[in-house]
Amino acid sequence: MSSYLRRPYTVSEITRRIKGLLETSLPTVWIQGEISNFTWHSSGHLYFTLKDEYSQLRCVMWRERSQRLFFTPQNGMKVLAQGDITVYERAGQYQLTVRQLQPAGIGELELAFEQLKERLRAEGLFDEKHKRSLPEFPQTIGVVTSPTGAAIRDIAQIIGRRAPWVQVILRPTLVQGEGAAADIAQAIDEFNQYGKVDLLIVGRGGGSLEELWAFNEEMVARAIYRSRIPVISAVGHEVDFTIADFVADRRAPTPSAAAELAVRDRAELQKLVRLLQQQAADGVLRKIKDAQTKVHALVSSYAIRRFEDSLEQQLQRVDELSGALIRGLDHIVVGKIGSFREVAGKLDVLSPLSAFQRGFCICQRLPEMTVVKESTALRVADMVKLRFKTGSAFCEVESVE
């Protein structure tokens, strides 16, 4: 009878009790399975199902965990998931709240590397048509690396020995750990904004895959790709390959090799200059000898002799024509002089100066200086200027007749 009197559980109550039992009795677990129904929500949370041939388990991975993933989970991918069994009370379902997620059978970083490499290759970031030529004689080289590592010492030493006139500008960056990729990408962008650098070397010394991982980040690859300045990647040792190597215009196996790629050796340049000087001198001498041979051949040729005879005849003809021209000009000049004298005599008669010679003067009313031609143009008290052959007189009109 008492069993009938016991108060029944509500759905919420029994769900909470099951939740308490499950979550306290099961420690953190590792589960292997195949991903299905994968969703990367706009909130950043991951929702998916882990399954094997007999069962399936709903999983959730919150944003603060998912943003630490180096690879992109996909349906059909076999993974290892570490997490806690929890109960989603609203649906009455148990699920795995995932703390860590990694590919089964291959490292997380190796998978992330291959995924990003294939995606960027498909976009064309590795295509040879995008590769820029390195400048033959750079004047300023920018270096993106750690200020305390061996890479910058090797680069500066080799460039200083091979091409001491080249300026090296270091942009110190992190080269591993949190924030390194963003720092490297920003440094590349800053050099492009600065604009006074001919070539960039981006790299660091050797290390593990984890230590070199900043150079496998997408943001670094895209910064190299959009750089207007040619980029040499110099990451790690000869056996190390990074995403940066595939995108860069040239890949150097080590930072030291990058420095040798960047500048030509001084002794090599001196040898090249001497060779070019000798080639130029030899070329000039050959041209002079060829010209001399052609001149000698022309001078002794029949065509030159005929040209000389023709030239003498033409010069004689020029003398004849110039004599006739001079005689014709003399005749014309004499005629023009006579005409000029006749016109000058007529102008002399008409000139006001001739009137002055005969005792006349010019009367001008002041202040406007108009010429007075008749007495009616004047009034008593007007001021006038009388201009003579030599000098002038100013008068006041007392009467007009």
Q: Are 250 and 220 in contact (CB under 8 A)?
A: no
pLDDT at 107 over 80: no
Q: What is the band of 161 on the pLDDT scale with cuts at 50, 70, 90?
A: very high
Mean pLDDT of the chain: 85
More confidently predicted of 47 and 397: 47
What pLDDT is recorded for position 341?
75
Cα–Cα distance, 262 to 233 (Å, whole number): 11
What pLDDT is recorded for position 261?
94
Cα–Cα distance, 375 to 251 (Å, whole number): 109
Taking alpha carbons only, the member of 333, 384, 342 closest to residue 363 is 384
Q: Are 76 and 34 in contact (CB under 8 A)?
A: yes
Average pLDDT over residues 35-45: 93
pLDDT digits (tens, 9 = 90+) for 265-281: 776 666 566 677 667 76
What pLDDT is recorded for position 254?
92
Angle at 247 between CA 245 and CA 249, to 5 degrees: 85
Cα–Cα distance, 115 to 124 (Å, whole number): 15
What pLDDT is recorded for position 1?
44
Q: At what angle do helices 266-299 and 302-350 cross, to 10 degrees?
A: 90
To which H or E segment does residue 190 belong?
helix 180-194
Q: What is the band of 165 on the pLDDT scale with cuts at 50, 70, 90?
A: very high
pLDDT at 72 over 70: yes
Taking alpha carbons only, the member of 236, 240, 176, 232 closest to residue 205 is 236
DSSP notation for 205-242 = ----TTTTGGGGSHHHHHHHHH-SS-EEEEESSTT---
User: What's the sign of the alpha-carbon dihedral 304, 305, 309, 315?
Assistant: positive
Cα–Cα distance, 277 to 285 (Å, whole number): 12
Distances (CA, A) of 325 to 6, 62, 321: 148, 110, 6
pTM above 0.75, yes or no: no
Q: What is the band of 143 on the pLDDT scale with cuts at 50, 70, 90?
A: very high
pLDDT at 236 over 70: yes
Average pLDDT over residues 368-389: 85
Average pLDDT over residues 361-366: 87
- Number of Cβ atoms within 10 Å of the Cβ of 251: 20
